[in-house]
Amino acid sequence: MTEVVMQRALVRQESRLAMMAAVAVLVGVAFMTIGLRGNLALVIELRAVRLAAMVLVGVAVAVSTVVFQTVCANRIITPSIMGLDALYVFCQTALVFALSGFGFAGIDPRLHFLGNFTAMTSLALALFLPMLRRRFDLTLMLLTGVVLGVLFRSLTTLLARLLDPNDFAVLQGTVFASFNAVEPDLLLLAGVITVACVAIAWRARHVLDVLALGTDTAM
């Protein structure tokens, strides 16, 4: 009897996922086709880049959140608690402070992307590699992330107060996410990295099984 109930529940979940996938496809098609005018080739290319960026961000955020919550056995906290977003904003602020707005604008986008990727990955490894040890306190790792996040935000606020108003405007345009100015080359590079990370998470799906955490946590 229990197996029958679980099978029916699984079928319902698969049906819901299929419906949501169909709706997502329809929304994507509508985004690509509604209101087309002017140079169609250029408009379609720009919209395709934006749509690809939104899909990539959605996949990355969803997978990282589920994996993080599974590792922490907590469905409330998110990866932002580790201070990585604060580190990103601090890096941009430090660059603008050191190079000025004009110097910051002259940085090659690919070099800028790789620098941010290296800094954030280094912090993540420094926090998560100790998990490989036998005696590791997960709470200590989370608290360390919170403290680092507060530190980076405080340093960012300090540097932002010392910036020239024109440089601060450049910084504001950098730290706020926008799908209106997506670099196709960076999108391809980010896509490769995201696909590799998703593949690693998929291979570890039996270990990172959220259902193994129990009904209350999994739901």
Q: Looking only at Cα atoms, what is the longest distance across the chain?
A: 69
52-103 confidence digits (pLDDT tens): 999 999 999 989 888 888 888 777 888 888 888 888 899 899 988 888 888 8
- For residue 155, is pLDDT > 90? yes
Residue 217's pLDDT is 60
Amino acid at the residue 12: R
Residues 102-113, mean pLDDT to the nearest whole number:
85
Q: What is the per-residue burial (b if ≥16 Cβ within 10 Å, else e) of 19-49?
A: eeeeeeeeebeeeeeeeeeeeeeeeeeebeb
159-183 confidence digits (pLDDT tens): 999 888 888 888 888 888 778 878 8
179-218 confidence digits (pLDDT tens): 887 888 888 888 999 999 999 988 888 877 766 666 666 5
Contacts of 198 (CB under 8 A, 6+ apart): 59, 63
**CA-CA distances (angstroms) from residue 182 to 78, 105, 123?**
25, 15, 25
Residue 2's pLDDT is 62
128 vs 2, residue with greater confidence: 128
Residue 101's pLDDT is 81
Residue 215's pLDDT is 65
Least confident of 17-21, 73-77, 84-88, 127-131: 127-131
58, 64, 65, 69: CA torsion to nearest 10? 160
Query: What's this model's pTM, rounded to 2 decimal places?
Result: 0.80
